């Protein structure tokens, strides 16, 4: 496994991030534990989750599954760089209550304690703000983070789904108060969705944040959706089906699959490997539901894409161009 440093921190992390969103809703606990063990054995040490994963009445279930995995011992916790998130309401379904969501100091305090209990650990390596909270000033957020760091409950803070100007605002506020600020940003970024190249990734690079792309296969669209539908006889589903209903998108995805077939490359592995060539990227989040999907993701880390393929991918999925030139009229 290849490793890199998480932004401007001294933390060394694997170049793939194990996403756990499917643990609980789609992958049962024994299988989830098996995937976690296999990932750790392969050197994948960076595990990402969120307090809300499990969804609906099972919110928090994913953190619990990771907690029972840690409880098995074998230095699992010590070998893992653990990231989770705070923002969404954790109040019981149908029982909305003030201060059980967003980024108020009170909710951050409650949420981190609840996550630690579910995760069966006494600290979180990377505590991420799942979304922007326009109602809470960053001065309050950083004050709450300071308390958690001083208590030893978290080591670093990161953001998720932040626009570039909010990354700047957060870190300028932190700097004024002599604080470290954000060390990472988790954003939607893949071959089919490259808008992060305009502001988010440049802002992250300017402030020394590691970038952790989510949905690297764009909901399965970049994982060979057309080929799989043809060979299985089943139509694409979910986000892929919606996207492929658009004639222009379907033609683009077909061109992508044809390019990779010409070079003998697997679509999903190529999409991950492409992200690893991009400036400022720490590592994409992969969310395997099975051992086979994990094995495929691990192969992507070792995949060296020829320049001819990289050029072809840019032709099929052209990005917005470099900022600020891309903003010119």
Would you name the residues annotated as active-site residues? Answer: 53
Bond into 286 cis (ω within 30): no
How far apart, in Å, do the first and last CA atoms of the chain sit?
44
Residue 50's nearest CA partner among 34, 31, 66 is: 66
| Tokens, residue 3 | 């490793």
* Calpha distance 204→216 (Å, rounded): 18
Sequence-ordered list of residues with C-beta below 8 angstroms from that of 264, at least 6 positions apart, any chain: none
Sequence-ordered list of residues with C-beta below 8 angstroms from that of 307, at least 6 positions apart, any chain: none
* Calpha distance 312→64 (Å, rounded): 43
**C-alpha R_g of the chain:** 20
């Amino acid at each position: 496994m290849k490793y890199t440093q998480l932004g401007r921190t001294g933390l060394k992390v694997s170049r793939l991030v194990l996403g756990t969103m499917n643990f609980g809703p789609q992958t049962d606990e024994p299988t989830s534990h098996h995937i976690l063990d296999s990932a750790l054995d392969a050197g994948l040490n960076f595990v990402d989750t969120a307090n809300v994963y499990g969804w609906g009445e099972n919110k928090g279930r994913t953190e619990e599954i990771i907690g029972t995995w840690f409880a098995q011992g074998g230095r699992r916790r010590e070998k893992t760089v653990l990231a989770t998130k705070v923002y969404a309401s954790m109040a019981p379904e149908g029982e909305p209550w003030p201060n059980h969501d967003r980024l108020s100091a009170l909710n951050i305090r409650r949420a981190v304690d609840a996550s630690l209990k579910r995760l069966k650990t006494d600290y979180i390596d990377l505590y991420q703000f799942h979304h922007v909270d326009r109602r809470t000033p960053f001065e309050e957020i950083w004050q709450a983070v300071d308390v958690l760091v001083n208590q030893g409950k978290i080591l670093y803070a990161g953001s998720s789904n932040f626009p570039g100007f909010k990354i700047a605002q957060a870190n300028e506020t932190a700097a004024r108060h002599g604080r470290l600020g954000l060390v990472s940003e988790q954003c939607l970024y893949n071959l089919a969705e490259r808008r992060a190249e305009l502001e988010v990734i440049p802002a992250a690079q300017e402030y020394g944040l590691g970038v952790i792309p989510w949905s690297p296969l764009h909901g399965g669209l970049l994982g060979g959706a057309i080929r799989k539908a043809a060979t299985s006889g089943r139509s694409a589903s979910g986000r892929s089906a919606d996207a492929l209903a658009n004639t222009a998108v379907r033609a683009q995805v077909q061109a992508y699959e044809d390019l990779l077939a010409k070079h003998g490359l697997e679509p999903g592995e190529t999409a991950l490997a492409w992200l690893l060539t991009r400036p400022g990227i720490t590592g994409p989040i992969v969310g395997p539901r099975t051992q086979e999907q994990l094995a495929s993701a691990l192969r992507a880390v070792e995949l060296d894409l020829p320049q001819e393929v990289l050029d072809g991918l840019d032709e099929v999925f052209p990005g917005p161009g470099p900022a600020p030139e891309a903003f010119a009229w």
